[in-house]
Amino acid sequence: MDSLHAIGFYVSSGVLLIGGLGVALLPGRELRGAALAVVGVGLGGLYVSLAAGFAAVVALICYLACGALVAGPRYRSVEVVVGPLWRQVGALGAAGLLVVIIYAAFRGDFVTAKFFGGAFGVSAIGRLLFAHDALATEAVAALVLVSLAGATAVWRVRERAR
């Protein structure tokens, strides 16, 4: 990996984590939607710096869509009744998870290999998606279909209830 890609990697990582913290901490759905879009930009840049151009394009589109969904007018606020103690326990659990994963990443004995894929690799990934791992592709397609149909059905029920 040359210096340009390394700089892109670290800059994109910073953008990605700043966007993630924005999703976690910013008030207001518009700001959180914008933060999710920033996450998409950072993730796309990170993927490009790791020679995964096609994944970068798909991730950018999907996370911009996530940002539009969160910032959109169909957003409804639903408060859950969870005590502050459990929220703090959950936050400490998240911190513990971060420590465990970082320790595993730092102490892991990883192999190193030479990367033969191209910068974009759309034909090779297409062969993998539609020939080698067609079942996984169909499972995700079924998830998208169920999600869109479910969201549409819920929206229609809500419109009728008004």
Partner 1 sequence: MSASLVAALFVAAALVAVGVFTAVWRRDVTAALGGIPLILGGAGVAFVGVARFAAAGSPHLFGQEFAVLLAIAAVALLALGLGIAGREGAR
To which residue do tokens 């990996």 refer? Answer: 1
Question: Is 129 buried (19+), middle (13-18) or exposed (0-12) by CB count in 10 A?
Answer: middle
Nearest approach in angstroms of CB 77 to partner 1 is: 5
CA dist., res. 57 & res. 144, Å (int):
18
Minimum distance from CB of 57 to partner 1 (Å)?
A: 9
Rg of the chain on CA atoms, in Å: 20
Q: Measured from the CB of residue 49, what is the shortest distance to partner 1 in angstroms?
A: 7
Residue 132 three-state SS: helix
CB-based burial of residue 137 (10 Å sphere; 0-12 exposed, 13-18 middle, 19+ buried)?
middle
CB of 37 to partner 1, least distance (A): 11
Q: What is the DSSP string of 34-75?
A: HHHHHHHHHHHHHHHHTT-HHHHHHHHHHHHHHHHHHHSTT-
Q: What is the closest distance, in whole angstroms, from the C-beta atom of residue 61 to partner 1 in the complex?
A: 8
